Amino acid sequence: MTRVLSGIQPTGQPQLGNYLGALRSWIALQDSADAFYCVVDLHALTVPGDAAELRSATMTMATLLLAAGLDPDRCTLFVQSHVPAHTQVAWLLECTASFGEMRRMTQWKDKSAKGGEEAARLGLLAYPALMAADIVLYDADRVPVGDDQRQHLELTRTLAERFNHRYGQTFKVPDALIPARGQGGRVMDLQEPTRKMSKSSDSPQGTVFLFDDPKDIERKIKRAVTDADDGPDAVRYDPAAKPGVSNLLDILATITGRTPDQVAAGYTRYGPLKADTASAVVELLAPIQARYRELASDPASVAKVLRAGAERANEVAAATAARAEAAIGLLPPG
C-alpha cells in the first residue's frame, strides 16, 4: 500500500490555503494510502514564539485536523516532537546537506529577510533537513503538500539520494503530491494576490482563517483585490495578468470540483463571483467549525488520539533511524 506523510506547523491560525492545498488531499488519501500526518511543532521553533502559545496552538491544530476529517481509525495522527527519531535523523541529514543549498531555499530567503540574516535562527536555515527527516523516516512514497513546498520536496529527494549514494540504500526517495494548477495548490492572499496566503502573514484582511465567522469571510472576500477590467471577458482565469480574479476562480473551482475556466464561464462581473465564492467558503467551513467546537470541549480524547498516533509513528520511525545510524557508521549501543 502506498505510504503518505505530511505535516502542518502550529504557527498562528490555520488558513484556507492550508485546507485547500494540503488538508483536503490528506483527508482523501486516508482511504487509499497508509497515511501518517503530524503537527510539526519543532518547525514552529524556527521563528520567535511563546511557550504557552505553542502548546495551545499544537492542541488546536490537532483538534482542527480531526474536525476537518482526519479519522484516527484510518490514519496515524501525531505530534512531531513525540517521536524523537525526527531530530535524530535531522542531524544525519544536516550532515548530508550543504550550507549553500540550504541558503538557496526560498522560505529561508523570505523569512530571514524580515528580521535580517544576523538575527534569523539557525533552525530556520536548517529546518528543510528536519522536514526531509520527517518524510524519509516513514518510507513515504508520496507527500501531499501545497505548491510552496515544492522546493523543500526537491531537496528531500536530493538528500535521500545523496545519503543512499554515500552510505548505501537506506531511504525511500519520495514524490511530492501537489494539487493540479487551479485546484488549490497555491491560494493567494486576498489583498496581495501575488503573494501566497499564509498563517503568519501580517495581512489578516487578506487571509481567510479556518475559524473566521461567516461575516468576516464575506467581508474579506468581497473586499478582495481584483482589477479595473469591466469588459465582457473580465472574469477569466489568467493568474499572471489577473492574479486577484484568478485566485477567486481557483478557490471556487476547488471547492465546487470544477476547473477555473468552467467557473469563469458563469460570470461576467466580479460582484457575483465574490458573493458565490464567499458563500462556498462559508459552507465549506461551517461543519468543520461546528465539529471543532465539539472536539475542543474534550481535550482528553484528542490527547488520547495523539498518544496512540505517537506510539505507531515511533515504531516505524525508530526502525528507520536505527537503519540510518548503522549505515552512516554510528556504533550501535552494546
Could you list the residues that contact ligand AQP (CB under 6 A)?
Answer: 8-9, 11-12, 15, 17-18, 20-22, 145-146, 148-149, 185-187, 196-200
Nearer to ligand AQP, 11 or 30 (CB): 11
Nearer to ligand AQP, 25 or 88 (CB): 25
215 is an active site residue? no
Give the C-alpha separation, 55 to 61, whole Å: 10
Residue 209's DSSP bridge partners are 15
Q: Which of 111, 220, 242, 274 is catalytic?
A: 111
Backbone angles phi, psi at 294, to 5 degrees: -60, -50
Nearer to ligand AQP, 206 or 309 (CB): 206
Which residue, judged by CB position, is nearest to ligand AQP in the bound state? 21
In the bound complex, what is the minimum distance in angstroms from residue 10's beta carbon to ligand AQP?
A: 8
111 is an active site residue? yes
In the bound complex, what is the minimum distance in angstroms from residue 48's beta carbon to ligand AQP?
A: 12
274 is an active site residue? no
Q: Which of 199, 220, 242, 274 is catalytic?
A: 199
In the bound complex, what is the minimum distance in angstroms from residue 11's beta carbon to ligand AQP?
A: 3
Cβ–Cβ under 8 Å, residues 14 and 209: yes
Q: For residue 74, count other CB atoms closer than 10 A to its CB.
A: 14
Q: Which of 196, 220, 242, 274 is catalytic?
A: 196
What lies within 8 Å, CB to CB, of 299 at 6+ separation is: 59, 63
Cβ–Cβ under 8 Å, residues 234 and 245: yes
Residue 35's DSSP bridge partners are 4, 75
In the bound complex, what is the minimum distance in angstroms from residue 146's beta carbon to ligand AQP?
A: 2
Amino acid in the structure at residue 47:
V
To which residue does cell 460570470 refer?
Answer: 267
Residues recognised as catalytic: 111, 196, 199
